[in-house]
């Protein structure tokens, strides 16, 4: 979480690590470890088991796209609808999102009707998320999702 600060504000670290306390920036803490996990696990599964790469990638994309959506939905539901604000609830949201998104990935993997179109859509969705995390790190829109609530600012903090 603090890698951005530890690197002295490295732009490369900014792409992968939160640069502030906004909800958007914290989504990186789910997305990029998930990408890393799948990059490690995919070759192992492909070598050791009879698993099809397209089906596995579509499953990964389902998890990678759904986890941030689940986090945002649960976060704003708990904060906005119920007024619950705590580190414990934030951690539980993260855990729930990872579990639910991976269960979804398993369900998608088992789906018989995965076509080449789903693979293309999955690649586009993952690339769009990577692009969004990169672009919105440096030029975030002034929307609540991107607001660093402790400072009232957006994007990379300026000393």
Tens digits of residue pLDDT in 87-108: 999 999 999 999 999 999 999 9
Tens digits of residue pLDDT in 50-59: 777 888 889 9
Distances 145 to 28, 68, 75, 116, 154 between C-alpha atoms, Å: 13, 12, 10, 33, 10
Q: How far apart are CA 115 and CA 24, in angstroms?
A: 31
Kindly compute the dihedral angle of the four CA atoms of residues 6, 25, 30, 45, in this order, to the nearest 10 degrees.
-80
8-state DSSP, 148: E
Tens digits of residue pLDDT in 58-84: 999 999 999 999 999 999 999 889 999
Let me know if 55 is exposed, middle or buried by CB neighbors in 10 A (0-12, 13-18, 19+). Answer: middle
Residue 49, pLDDT > 80, answer no
Position 144 scores a pLDDT of 94
Residue 1, pLDDT > 70, answer no
């Amino acid at each position: 979480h603090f890698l951005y600060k530890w690197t002295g504000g490295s732009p490369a670290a900014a792409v992968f690590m939160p640069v502030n306390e906004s909800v958007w920036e914290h989504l990186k803490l789910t997305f990029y470890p998930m990408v890393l996990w799948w990059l490690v696990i995919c070759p192992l599964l492909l070598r050791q088991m009879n698993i099809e790469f397209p089906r596995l990638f579509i499953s990964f994309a389902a998890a990678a796209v759904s986890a941030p959506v689940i986090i945002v939905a649960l976060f704003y539901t708990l904060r906005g609808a119920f007024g619950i604000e705590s580190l414990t609830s934030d951690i539980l949201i993260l855990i729930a999102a990872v579990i639910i998104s991976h269960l979804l990935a398993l369900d998608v993997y088992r789906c018989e009707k995965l076509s080449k179109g789903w693979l293309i859509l999955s690649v586009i969705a993952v690339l769009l998320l990577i692009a969004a995390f990169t672009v919105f790190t440096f030029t975030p829109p002034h929307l609540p999702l991107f607001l660093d609530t402790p400072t009232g600012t957006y994007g990379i903090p300026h000393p």
